[in-house]
Amino acid sequence: MRLIAGNWKMNGLQAEGLALARAVADAIRGAPPLGAEALICPPATLLASVGAAIAGTGLALGGQDCSPEAKGAFTGDVSAAMLADLGCRYVIVGHSERRQFRGETDAAVAKKAAAAQAAGLHAIVCVGERGDERARGAAQTIVLGQMAGSLPADIDPTRLVVAYEPVWAIGSGRTPTPAEIAEIHGALRHWLGERFGSIGSGIRLLYGGSVTPANAAAILAVPAVDGSLVGGASLKASDFIGIIRAAA
Ligand code: PEP
């Protein structure tokens, strides 16, 4: 089933986060989307309240990041087990904002993906090239390199989701052309097939970067696109619902 994941990033205090979650939940309750799974990834501080607000609606809950460690003296970290304990089913790891602003390497992302799965979560592993990398024709090489480095050796492919998010498309209003998305998703699909055999074809490949209700249908129609990771548009209930409906 396709997956539409909303990444709220560091946005929302309790009142607005709850209002947004309730608006999305109400729309889903009224007319459940067929053929698409919808996921909300609020900031860690909102997981409990948003989780309660969406309980029983079919909307899934996810974290935006997790510690590579299971527990202990890691001040400020949130473990994958803590996310699972709050009802999360998914966690995003290796988002480009964490790679860029928090210095996360492929190896660090692989450790987080392993920690996520050890806690029973599905890991959404993000990869994507910068604008300068695309400009010099290195997009595919960069993305496949990140993919290879960001998966732990013992990753469970049945609890893996991959998100292709070109860094230059995130929050910019610019998107790759359908042909450019098809090229990268095709390369990722091929790589996953080589690594995991037939199971690789079942790993959902999400596209992320400036997806809106206006462009969602065209992007979701691209071969090997199994859903989307949505940032800005997930902060407006009607936009997020519009994207979910485009996938259903
Ligand atoms: C993201 O940050 O994961 C993202 C896709 O952001 P946006 O939709 O705002 O480009």
What's the pLDDT tens digit per position in 61-84?
Answer: 999 999 999 999 999 999 999 999
Dist CA 121 CA 37 (whole Å): 16
169-222 pLDDT, tens digit per residue, is 999 999 999 999 999 999 999 999 999 999 999 999 999 999 999 999 999 999
The pTM of this model reads 0.98
Domains annotated for the chain, with CATH where assigned, are 3-246 (3.20.20.70)
Read off φ and ψ for residue 123, nearest 5 degrees: -95, 125
* Residue 30 confidence (pLDDT): 80
* Residue 51 confidence (pLDDT): 98
Q: Return the structure tokens found at 188.
A: 């990722």
Contacts 24+ apart (CB under 8 A), 190-199: 191/144, 191/147, 191/148, 192/157, 192/162, 195/151, 195/157, 196/157, 199/157, 199/158
Mutating to test ligand 1, I would choose from 7, 219, 225 the residue with most ligand atoms within 8 A of its C-beta, which is 7
Ligand 1 atom at shortest distance from the alpha carbon of 169 = 10
Ligand 1 atom at shortest distance from the alpha carbon of 228 = 5
- Pick 218 or 30 by higher pLDDT: 218
Distance of CA 152 to the CA centre of its chain: 18
Mean pLDDT of 79-98: 98
Q: Return the structure tokens found at 42.
A: 């609020």
Dist CA 68 CA 116 (whole Å): 8
* Residue 32 confidence (pLDDT): 78
124-161 pLDDT, tens digit per residue, is 999 999 999 999 999 999 999 999 999 999 999 999 99
* Residue 33 confidence (pLDDT): 79
Distance of CA 52 to the CA centre of its chain: 21
* Residue 109 confidence (pLDDT): 98
For residue 29, pLDDT beyond 90: no
Return the residue whose CA atom lies nearest to atom 4 of ligand 1.
Answer: 231
Q: Are 240 and 233 in contact (CB under 8 A)?
A: yes
* Residue 22 confidence (pLDDT): 97
- Pick 239 or 33 by higher pLDDT: 239
Is 95 labeled as catalytic in the residue annotation?
Answer: yes
Is 69 labeled as catalytic in the residue annotation?
Answer: no
For residue 34, pLDDT beyond 80: no
Return the residue whose CA atom lies nearest to atom 2 of ligand 1.
Answer: 231
